[in-house]
Amino acid sequence: MLELNHLSKTYQTGNQAYPVLKDISLRVEKGEFTAVMGPSGSGKTTLLNCVSCFIPFDEGEIHLGDTVMKNLTEKELAFVRNNRLGFVFQDYMLFDGLTVFENICVPQIIRGGQIPQMETRAKELCRLFGIHHIAEKYPVDISGGEKQRTAVARALMNDPDLILADEPTGNLDSKSCRTVIDSFLKAKEELNATILMVTHDSFAASFCDRVIVLKDGRIFQEVVKMGSRQEFFDELLDLLRELGGGENDGE
């Protein structure tokens, strides 16, 4: 589904070059829930921004299905973002002037899709993520967890190939964090969604199928969940301790 080959990215400030991503290669399969972890400055968010084409990369290739994500025109880029990618951000990025239901509809509105199908799909997603009772409320009237579930529903509206989540639980308390993770799991199980999530939170990451740990712009380690979630969680904590991190344990 997503394939990164020898991806490199360097920030240039004056004459000074700061390599952020160094020769990253990875694959995310269809229906997989993958997390990217790592200490601050390891390149997690840069990686996500490169995949979503928010920033350009220097070397390597990104394949999303059969699409090579390089040198896309503005129109092609907009098409990919609208139809093939879904985004969930740490600060939700919901439209304050729209209701929950309307916010979920936005990707379809941009696409110019058929209205009856759009409304049916939005209602389904509301039910799936348990936000149907707040569908007519505005973001200001709902909790952080509900906002993020709305964002997850919105990300799934156009049935994208890949959902990119940037610290989706970063602003949430543990209870809300759990409801959001449940939403991702539901998306994966019931809609066969593919999710790539950047997180600091080992509790959230322990629900994933696989965790890629970055350090200094390189893949430090890849951990695949083999046993129970608790075992996986412990394994991640050990790994992060080894890296000198382990913040936001969540549990």
Partner 1 sequence: MTANKLYAKLRYYNRKNYLMLFLCTVLSVMLITSYALIYLSPTVQNVLPAGGDSRKQAVMIFAVAIVGCAIFSTYASSLFLKYKSREIGILMALGDRKGQLKKMLFSEIMLVAAAACAAGLVLSFPLSYGIWRIFQLLIVDTREMGYQVQGAGLLFGVGFSAVLVLCIFLLAVRFINRTNVMDIIYEQRKSEPIRDVGKWTGVTGVILLILGLVLGYLVPVAVFKLFHFYMPSVWNVVYLLSAAGIYQMMTFLAVHSRRGNHPRKYYRNLISTSMMRFLGRQTVRNMCVIILLTGGALFAAFYLPVTIMGVKENVRNNPVDYLFTYPSGQIQFRESEIEALADAHQIKIKGYQELPSLNLQVDGYEWVYQKSGKVDMIYHDVAGTSTFFNAEDLSVLLKKTIEVKPGEYRMIASVPTTQADDGLPTLITDPVTGEQNPVQYVGTVEFAGRFFNTPEGINTCYVLSPEDFARYDNHLKGADRNVTVAFGVEHWEESYAFAKNLKDEMINRYPGETVKDLMDRPIELSPDNPELSRSWAYYPLFKPLQSQDYMKNMAVFFMLFAYIAIICFTAVGIIAYTRGVTIAVNQKHVFVDLERLGADSRYVDRCMKNQLRRIFIYPYLTGSIAALGFIMMILYTNDGRISIAEAKATGINLIIMAGLGVYLFLVYAGTCKKFRAVIRES
Footprint of partner 1 (CB under 8 A): 52, 54, 74-75, 78-83, 85, 87, 93, 95-98, 102, 105-107, 109-111, 115, 118-119, 154, 158
Output the smallest distance, CB 16 to partner 1, in A.
20
Query: How, if at all, do strands 162-166 and 2-13 pair?
Result: unpaired
Output the smallest distance, CB 97 to partner 1, in A.
3
Closest to partner 1 by CB, 43 vs 139, is 139
Closest to partner 1 by CB, 97 vs 238, is 97
Long-range contacts of 178-186 (CB under 8 A, 24+ apart): 179/130, 179/145, 179/149, 180/145, 180/148, 180/149, 180/152, 181/207, 183/129, 183/148, 183/149, 183/152, 183/153, 184/33, 184/152, 185/33, 186/128, 186/129
CA distances from residue 205 to 23, 36, 77 in whole angstroms, order as listed: 23, 8, 29
CB contact at 8 A, 185 and 129: no
Closest to partner 1 by CB, 102 vs 209, is 102
Query: How, if at all, do strands 218-224 and 210-215 pair?
Result: antiparallel
Closest to partner 1 by CB, 38 vs 86, is 86
Output the smallest distance, CB 103 to partner 1, in A.
9
Output the smallest distance, CB 27 to partner 1, in A.
24
Closest to partner 1 by CB, 134 vs 213, is 134
Output the smallest distance, CB 163 to partner 1, in A.
13
